[in-house]
Structure 1
Amino acid sequence: MATEAKRPKVDDGSELSPLENFLQWCSRVGLVLSNKVYVSKEGTVAEYGMLAKDNIEEGEVLFTIPRSALLHQGTTKVSALLEKEKSSLESSSGWVPLLLALLYEYTFSQSHWKPYLCLWTDFKTLDHPMFWSKEERGRLLRGTGIPEAVDTDLTNIRREYTDVILPFITQHPDIWNPNTHTLELYTQLVAFVMAYSFQEPQEEEDDEDEDEEEEKAPNLPMMVPMADMLNHVSDHNANLEFTLDSLKMVCVRPIRKGEEVFNTYGQMANWQLLHMYGFTEPYPSNSNDTADIPITNLYKVATQESDLDRQLVEEQWQMLRQMMQEKGAFVFGKQGCLTDTELHTALKVLCMSKEEFSEFKENEGWEEDDEEDEKISLAFSNEGLPGLKASWKWLIHEAARLTLRSYEDEQVEGKVVDSDRALIEDKAALAGLSSRQQNALQVQYGQKSILSRLMDLTKS
């Protein structure tokens, strides 16, 4: 019986897998990959990742990307048009030019970036909460702050598409088509930029250069092929460095053969990772996890005392709202309060006598010196919290309790945290959950455990 003839691979790489095609493209555009690493879909924590073929020492360069291989509004084929029309593309996000470039390049069959963008077919691997149903977000992520953040995102995305994108692409039917470049695709590309883009760190300028700094272009996101293949952990072993001509992924601590190479997306709590990237770090590995106590919860607790001067508390609260209008919550990490100065101010104001508050208003607040800031930081650390004034501890304790209740419709105090812990520690039970349920559990339990610990530290 004759065997089936093998078809030769054609020059355009159509016989190659998306990953192989991408790697060939990397060679063509001058991206240099160390022979000590390789990209794989197996043995990594996500769909793609990078693994070490050999032991790697600190300081070794894992790959180098020429700036010409970066995808942004200045390197796309439609860059001249985007630059010419930039005044009509302004938006609150600042992402419109990049997103228009991606809309074009992703759907143009002859795009220079096709081997790169084909790694994300239909963006099916993206599972940001924005792609969950509203009911699912509300049920699984109650109390985390993510449902509210997603609602804001979706409202802004729809507004940006309707007010800016759609009028622009309608004016250029030879390049974009509303039937192809839809709101759905636009939303997927927003998630793509959230999850995979990079921003170049801005160098700090001296005061005398402030005028020049104002004239500089804003720090806009860019797509960085190969760098975005690396997964994130807070305890990372590689870091992206920016130079004048190229970007380099550099090993920041020894990596053993067979280990995965991890980059960092920054100091990200699990709620931020899930909101922006669609994944979480398993408890307790995320050292940057946080929990928020809304400032309104502190106010609600302050008004619970029966013998308080309600008019005084209302005046104190109105002043705090003016002072902290951009800070809607106090943030607590694993080692204590991360917004300690703001919390110190709020507690001090809410616990003032009428005379003290009157003097405070006359002075229009106060500024802390560096030495005072250090004392405040220590006072609101895990080590310092038990030693705070009783009235301050009570406010923090009750505000944490009120916040903890927001995760559940009903709960027996402490029992929900214990049940979450039991579920996380039961590997078989955890594996039986969907990926969304697992991620939601990681976010909620991380936040609840921080709040529960805070309550223990502020017991009377």
Structure 2
Amino acid sequence: MATDVKRPKIDDECCVFDPLKNFLCWCDCVNLNLSDKVYLSKEGTVAVYGMLAKEDIEEGHVVFSIPRDTLLHQGTTKIKKVLEDGKKSLESASGWVPLLLALLYEYTCPQSYWKPYLSLWPDFKMLDHPMFWSEDERDKLLKGTGIPEAVDTDLKKLQAEYNNIVLPFIKSHPDLWDPEKHNLELYKSLVAFVMAYSFQEPVEDEDEEEEKEPNPPMMVPMADMLNHVSKHNANLEYTPECLKMVAVRCIEKGEEVFNTYGQLANWQLLHMYGFAEPFPTNSNDTADIQMSSVYKAAMQETQREADQRLIKDKWNMLCEMEIVGEKGVFIFGQSGALTYNELHTTLKVLCMSVQEFEEFCENEGWEEDEEDEDDKMEQALSFDRLTALSPEWKRLLHAAAGFTLDSYSEDVDTDRRLLEDQGALAKLSSRERRALHVCYGQKNILQRLQQLTKPTS
């Protein structure tokens, strides 16, 4: 039973002043099986902690396995029953409250089963998500990336969740929590901890028609010691008995073992995990163009009042069809538009003649009878094919990309010069470097979009 779990006995002389060695002693005690071919280190890795190969590792090798009862979540914590009894009152938009309450308890409990694991983060100061930056710093370094707006939303939701759900619950259980100790500041740190280090087990898709709730997040000791790159060499696998980190390709001696957190752009990595991949290594990097920027570009194309009314009517129709939205974005990746269906429809409607639009409204849209229509739209809006678009479509894309580029603090050429100047780059703070890689990665995609849609004279 989870409530009967006791703290593993660890030799008092076992690395008392070394949290990493203490954690490894704990791993042995809880049957976390670490391969002899790897070791954990604070040196030679891309972050504070990391895993390196002691010798060559073949594809398919199990780097480590961890029993399910050693995972930390609301179903394994000592306060499992309290959380189950209060389940109804702990419902939230994030779905994270039960895990966060478990962490509030376990992190501050000297007898916690997971104490050697949680002691790896003595004060969470190694977490440097933008939510811990000052508002001025976020606005200055990350303007135009979408991160400041996302962080503002996170902080408002986090505070409301703590004040309205968490605080009343912990006050009703004074034997387990103390509002003075388990305060908003610690809660914020634990939210960042869950953002950066938790895992979610994939939902088994047995019935495609039935939409299932996602599994709640959980903490997976050892798995969170591996850092992320888009071109990873290991992956976490889930079995009924345990979780296993498995090499997905050969890993050479001395090479860092990298997991993947998913196909994430640099702005997502910085927002959720507190780091960014150096440009140009993130093959999953993206740039967003506000949908409203395409509307602005279309309105800018004409001066006649009647034409502007027509554009407005077209836009309202697209909004009613839920193709576009006030806060929606068109996403571009390294090879072109990723939201190609929405973008293709938007450009097609905005560039219709009066007669075409009237027919479109009468028919309440159009019926696509070709099965490969999606493929055609994707190909048409790939970077390889943009030059073949109609001049009118290209002008809208070119102008919208320009509006987006203008929203950043610095222009793309300034960022490029800074990245090429190793001396100047070395003088930047860690936050400034991460912000630079995020901003330049986005601007590089947008600049390419502009170049490919540049109007011909």
TM-score w.r.t. structure 1 length?
Answer: 0.93
- How far, CA to CA, are the matches of 1:257 and 1:14 in structure 2? 27
**Of residues 295, 299, 306 in structure 1, which corresponds to 2:303?**
306
Query: Residue 418 of structure 1 corresponds to which residue in structure 2?
Result: 413
**Of residues 217, 224, 231 in structure 2, which corresponds to 1:221?**
217
Query: Residue 442 of structure 2 corresponds to which residue in structure 1?
Result: 447
Deviations 1:211-245 (A, max 9, x none): xx65xx64110000000000000010000011111
Q: CA deviation at 1:421?
A: 1.0
Counterparts of 1:221-370 in structure 2, within 5 Å, are 221-304=217-300, 305-307=302-304, 309-322=307-320, 323-324=322-323, 328-366=328-366, 368=368, 369-370=370-371
Q: CA deviation at 1:206?
A: 2.8
Aligned residues: 441
Structure 2 residues not aligned, in runs of 5+: 1-9
Query: Residue 38 of structure 2 corresponds to which residue in structure 1?
Result: 37
Tell me the SS of whatever aligns to 1:55: coil
Classify 1:246/1:295 alpha carbon distance in 2 versus 1 (closer, same or farther; 3 Å): same
Q: CA deviation at 1:207?
A: 4.7
Tell me the SS of whatever aligns to 2:372: helix
Q: CA deviation at 1:11?
A: 2.8
- How far, CA to CA, are the matches of 1:347 and 1:441 in structure 2? 32
Deviations 1:153-175 (A, max 9, x none): 00000000000000000000000
Query: Does the 8 A contact of 2:202 with 2:214 survive in 1?
Result: no
Give the partner amino acid of 1:376.
M
Q: CA deviation at 1:12?
A: 6.8
- How far, CA to CA, are the matches of 1:325 and 1:170 in structure 2? 44
Classify 1:336/1:325 alpha carbon distance in 2 versus 1 (closer, same or farther; 3 Å): closer
Counterparts of 1:50-449 in structure 2, within 5 Å, are 50-207=51-208, 210=210, 214=212, 218-304=214-300, 305-307=302-304, 309-322=307-320, 323-324=322-323, 328-366=328-366, 368=368, 369-408=370-409, 416-449=411-444
Deviations 1:39-95 (A, max 9, x none): 110110000000000001111110011111100000000011101110000000000
- How far, CA to CA, are the matches of 1:375 and 1:394 in structure 2? 21
Deviations 1:81-115 (A, max 9, x none): 10111000000000000000000000011100100
Q: CA deviation at 1:399?
A: 0.3
- How far, CA to CA, are the matches of 2:115 and 2:135 in structure 1? 33
Q: CA deviation at 1:325?
A: 5.1
- How far, CA to CA, are the matches of 1:218 and 1:254 in structure 2? 32
Give the partner amino acid of 1:314.
K
- How far, CA to CA, are the matches of 1:218 and 1:129 in structure 2? 26
Query: Residue 5 of structure 2 corresponds to which residue in structure 1?
Result: none
Give the partner amino acid of 1:263.
N
Query: Residue 3 of structure 2 corresponds to which residue in structure 1?
Result: none
Extract structure 1 runs of 4+ deviating beyond 4 A.
none
- How far, CA to CA, are the matches of 1:436 and 1:298 in structure 2? 32
- How far, CA to CA, are the matches of 1:344 and 1:14 in structure 2? 60
Deviates more, 1:322-331 or 1:437-446: 322-331
Deviations 1:177-198 (A, max 9, x none): 1000000000000000000000
Tell me the SS of whatever aligns to 1:27: helix
- How far, CA to CA, are the matches of 1:382 and 1:284 in structure 2? 17
- How far, CA to CA, are the matches of 1:439 and 1:259 in structure 2? 23
Deviations 1:418-446 (A, max 9, x none): 22112112222111100000011011100
Query: Residue 6 of structure 1 corresponds to which residue in structure 2?
Result: none
Structure 1 residues not aligned, in runs of 5+: 1-8
Classify 1:107/1:157 alpha carbon distance in 2 versus 1 (closer, same or farther; 3 Å): same
Tell me the SS of whatever aligns to 1:125: coil
Classify 1:69/1:392 alpha carbon distance in 2 versus 1 (closer, same or farther; 3 Å): same
- How far, CA to CA, are the matches of 1:374 and 1:10 in structure 2? 61
Classify 1:12/1:220 alpha carbon distance in 2 versus 1 (closer, same or farther; 3 Å): farther
Give the partner amino acid of 1:313.
I
Deviations 1:329-359 (A, max 9, x none): 0000111011111100100111112222222
Give the partner amino acid of 1:306.
Q
Give the partner amino acid of 1:271.
W
Percent identity (aligned) = 65
Query: Does the 8 A contact of 2:235 with 2:260 survive in 1?
Result: yes
